Structure 1
Amino acid sequence: MRRIAALAALLVLAACDGGGEPAARPAQPAPATPPAGTSIPADAGCVADVPVRVLPEWARVGFSDATPRMPYVLGSRGDIAAIIFGYPLHQPPLPDRNNKILWVSRVPLESGSPLVIEARLGGAGEVTRHEVTGGPGPSSIDLPAAGCWHLDLTWSGHTDSMRLTYRPSRSW
């Protein structure tokens, strides 16, 4: 009986977003928060909550803090980081906040080479294409629907991929 009550309580907590309202969550269980400095594998599917953690050393350029903590996702090869300043990402974008992402490359850049993002909802179907002029750097990436997006990234002769979740914006 205790196990059933504990499981019911766990399910109720998992369905709430901290405000006591149901949250849009994938059917899969949320992974445990990884230790600082580790990545969330891009091929593991979308993560409902991207933890705030210490950025990799190579992604800290421009931050004044010696060990800056931000929500970020690493590419599956570990060659690019999406530091999410507009976390969580929303579709449609929230009126008071952009879907701002700082793209940081671990590998050398060619001057003037853009970052090309080809995104597919659920990893299949129609491609939505974005280009960040000048290569990895700051951008606002708005995708056409909420859900789990698979991103294929190309820049300076390099490629990587990752998954990002865009949450539905509440209409009230």
Structure 2
Amino acid sequence: MRRIAALAAALLLLAACESGKAAAPAEPAAPATAAPAAAAQPGCGADVPSRVLPEWARTGFSDPEPSIPHVLGDQGDIVAIIFGYPLHAPTLPDRSNKILWVSRVPQQPASPLVIEARPDGKGDPVTREISGGAGPSTVDLPTAGCWHLQLKWSDHTDTMRLTYKS
């Protein structure tokens, strides 16, 4: 057994010498942590790329890894899947601002999704209520710009930013 260990050590040393680098000791892997959702999200003014949806938001899609424009809530508890991308204010005559809201956390039956939106995060909110909680909806806002959304549903809250173009 000692011969095998010595032979393995010699082979590792030889491989390190041949590459011109000393073998570095293996560092323990850092624990996997989720980066804050806000840091991973495109900010207002940036395009929302088509990306693969989180696994928990894929129910009902025929593609096992659907790629579609979406914005994840800052806490990671809700996703806005943007079927009407890009969103517009005022609404375009031939297309709606359709958003499918999918909650990662359990919902209470018949609990609405309440959206308080503020342009650039300031001023009085514009409130929209989606009956039945997370699900499909059309969310029209009065002006173009960066809208900061406070989302409340089934005793949960999350925030996100959505861009509405003119």
TM-score by length of 2: 0.75
CA contact (8 A) 1:41 1:74 kept: no
- The offset of 1:45, in angstroms, is 3.8
State the Cα deviation string for residues 82-101 of structure 1 (Å, max 9, x = none). 00000000011111100000
Matches within 5 A, 1:125-136: 125-136=123-134
State which structure, 1 or 2, has the greater radius of gyration over its C-alpha atoms: 2
Matches within 5 A, 1:145-160: 145-160=143-158
State the Cα deviation string for residues 109-166 of structure 1 (Å, max 9, x = none). 1000000000000001011000000000000000010000000000000000000000
Q: Which is helix-richer, 1 or 2?
A: 2
Map of 2:160 onto structure 1: 162
- Distance 1:42-1:144 versus aligned 2 partners, 3 A rule: farther
CA contact (8 A) 2:113 2:133 kept: yes
Matches within 5 A, 1:109-120: 109-120=107-118
Quote the Cα distance in structure 2 between the aligned partners of 1:139 and 1:96: 16
Structure 2, unmatched stretches of 5+, are 1-35
- The offset of 1:39, in angstroms, is 5.3
Quote the Cα distance in structure 1 between the aligned partners of 2:155 and 2:37: 23
- Distance 1:44-1:57 versus aligned 2 partners, 3 A rule: closer
CA contact (8 A) 1:99 1:140 kept: yes
Quote the Cα distance in structure 1 between the aligned partners of 2:103 and 2:120: 24
Task: Name whichever of 43-52 and 148-157 sits farther off.
Answer: 43-52
- Distance 1:141-1:162 versus aligned 2 partners, 3 A rule: same
CA contact (8 A) 2:144 2:165 kept: yes
Map of 1:62 onto structure 2: 60
- When the two chains are superposed, the root-mean-square deviation of aligned CA atoms in Å is 1.8
- The offset of 1:41, in angstroms, is 3.6
Structure 1, unmatched stretches of 5+, are 1-37
CA contact (8 A) 1:42 1:76 kept: no
Matches within 5 A, 1:38-77: 41=39, 45-77=43-75
1:138 pairs with one of 115, 133, 136: 136
- The offset of 1:46, in angstroms, is 1.2
Structure 1 stretches of at least 4 aligned residues deviating more than 3 Å after TM superposition: 38-45
Amino acid at match of 2:67: R
CA contact (8 A) 1:103 1:137 kept: yes
Quote the Cα distance in structure 2 between the aligned partners of 1:39 and 1:105: 15
Number of residues of Structure 1 aligned to a counterpart in Structure 2:
131
Quote the Cα distance in structure 2 between the aligned partners of 1:46 and 1:61: 27
- The offset of 1:48, in angstroms, is 2.2
